A and B are shown apart, each in its own frame.
Chain A
Amino acid sequence: MSEPLNDITKHVMGRIHTEQIKMRPRLYFILGSLATFVGLVMSILASVFLLSFIKLSLHGGGKMAEYKMDELLSHFSWWGPSIALASLLLGIWLLRQYEFSYKKNFILIVIGFILAIVAASFILDMSGLNEVMLQRSLFNSSFPV
């Protein structure tokens, strides 16, 4: 074995023996994946509601439109996007520590993400769920128990 190669084995194994380097626990990687997953799900949910909100603002004319918009804004669950952003940042930070591991098709992920948001907001709009939720929140704020 040549000198530099001998050095590589000695150096690497020496640092393992002296415990200068340790394996990260499996939990670390599970947490990274989990945080990214939660972040993605929360981002999809937050984006669906934001998209739905934009649609409402675009075709929500009439006298009540401005009032409806203010109500929607004041009742929007801002903790959703906040958790989404925090989880995504944490997950990406944890995963970046070993991001060299596998090839990911980021274009497919982004396209899938956008399609999921558009499809979900379309379904939400068709089902009228956002209107029901808006009316419920308006009703609750008008007649507090």
Chain B
Amino acid sequence: MQPIKQISDEAIVEQTRSSDQELYAILVERYQHKLLRYAQNLIHDEHKATDVVQESFIKAFINLQGFDTKKKFSSWIYRIVHNEAMNSIKKHQKEISLPEDFEFASSENIEADFEQQEIAEAVQTRLKELPIIYAEPLALRYLEEKTYEEISDILRLPIGTVATRINRAKVLMKHLCQSH
């Protein structure tokens, strides 16, 4: 028999729905750390983030028969957390807005100026200062290490829009870092 670590998420989903519901605990344990970090980066409140992740796992379990095992479980569960987090934000939080006179300059040298490591560090500390539409793709890219395609699946945005938002987020992040 294959060790549990080597079994794919999708295979576990298949077994959970057909024979053993206990296996769902493996999926919860596999993703709870990552999802809690992701939710905290969106909500900035540990208790609310915990509720969001908990509720997301419950919704995912209820709708497990609707999951297409040919697709990635990780994108599916991130999408559920995204929806729950957005609902929670709408309920509790005000949106952070950009200054009215802010303009996005050309981002030609952003990547060179602002290397991967620096971006990851800046993202960790300054994420909550960004509007959510930029903060979320940036967190998924640099903290959750998702590909553009996965981010596009999770946020239901075209890949081009994801790329634009990440670029703009980097511009904003650079401005934030320079102004502090």
Contact = CB atoms under 8 A, between A and B. Distances in A.
A101 B68 contact: yes
Interface string B10-28: 0000000100011011001
A27 B71 CA distance: 20
Contact of A4 (B46, B61, B71, B156): B46
Interface in A24-65: 24-26, 28-29
A114 interface: no
Chain B contact surface mostly: helix
A23 B32 contact: no
Interface range, A side: 20 to 34
A101 B70 CA distance: 12
B58 A21 contact: yes
A22 B152 contact: no
B83 to A, nearest CB: 5
Contacts of A97: 63
Most buried by A among B61, B68, B71, B79: B61
Interface of A: 4-5, 7-9, 11-13, 15-16, 21-26, 28-29, 97-98, 100-104
